Chain A
Amino acid sequence: MSSTFDTVAGIISETADIPREKITPESHAIDDLGIDSLAFLDIAFAVDKAFGIKLPLEKWTQEVNEGKVPAEEYFVLKNLVARIDALVAAKTA
């Protein structure tokens, strides 16, 4: 998996105190790793800082709550990583 995944997995492991080996690209941050909303904000802060981006959490939450997008699109780590990569690419474009 990408270096982005490694960075994100490291952040999750450190921030949420989850053994690194339990974190895979298929992991669902909430259902599999048990990350709660406050811990997810701490992770978002570390991700924002590490990649120089701003994860659009409010927009994502609204889309999930309104049923427009399944939560897996944002909270399964391989999908989260793809969105981080897209935000980084948009920043440097």
Chain B
Amino acid sequence: MRLEYFEMIDRVVSIDHEAGRIAARANVPSASPVFEGHFPGRPLLPGVLMTETMAQASGYLLLSKMGFAQMPFLMGVDKARFRDFVGPDVVLDVTAEIEHEGSGYAVTKASISAGGKKIADAGLRFRVMPFPAEMGPLMRERARAIGLEA
């Protein structure tokens, strides 16, 4: 994870288009400017960044399933729960599955666990739109960097 660059997913472990499911890995860094403020002397991964991590796993799943034809943008978070603290140097297992693919939108359920223990979960809603100019190639490049065929 490069928290300050919002690069939350380090590796896609598996993806199943038919089942609409993805598993990914995110390594919380040893140090980050984020930890300097959240919190001084007690570094914790902010819940909002856990939400972003689940959103990115969902986003890569949707992108891949749609053949990188359109871009999902987070538009809603339902029932987000942060069940435990996460500090530096923790390996996070991130999963997401598609609950519903609508026309122009999609809904996923995502979760984060560490060492087999559930850390966070949420329902996420995405607006699915054409790629803004220049964004498509950049998303493909980032997807390839985390092991997703693009």
Contact = CB atoms under 8 A, between A and B. Distances in A.
Nearest to A61: B104
Range of interface residues on A (Cβ < 8 Å): 10 to 19
Main secondary structure of the interface of A (DSSP, over half): helix
Given A49-B100, A57-B102, A38 B75 contact: yes
Interface string A28-60: 000000000010011011001100001111110
B137 interface: no
A24 to B, nearest CB: 26
B100 A41 contact: no
Interface residues of B, number: 11
Interface string B56-100: 000000000000000000011000000000000000000000001
Interface in B95-115: 100-105, 107
A54 B117 CA distance: 36
Interface in A34-93: 38, 41-42, 44-45, 48-49, 54-59, 61
B127 interface: yes
Nearest to A55: B103
B11 interface: no
Nearest to B126: A41
B25 interface: no
B111 to A, nearest CB: 20
B21 interface: no
A-B pairs, 8 with minimum CB distance: A57-B103, A58-B104, A41-B105, A57-B104, A58-B103, A56-B103, A48-B102, A38-B75
Given A41-B104, A48-B102, A49-B100, 10 more contacts: A41-B105, A44-B104, A45-B107, A45-B125, A54-B102, A55-B102, A57-B103, A58-B104, A59-B103, A61-B104
23 contacts: A38-B75, A38-B76, A41-B102, A41-B104, A41-B105, A41-B127, A42-B76, A44-B102, A44-B103, A44-B104, A45-B100, A45-B102, A45-B107, A48-B102, A54-B103, A55-B102, A55-B103, A57-B103, A57-B105, A58-B103, A58-B104, A59-B103, A61-B104
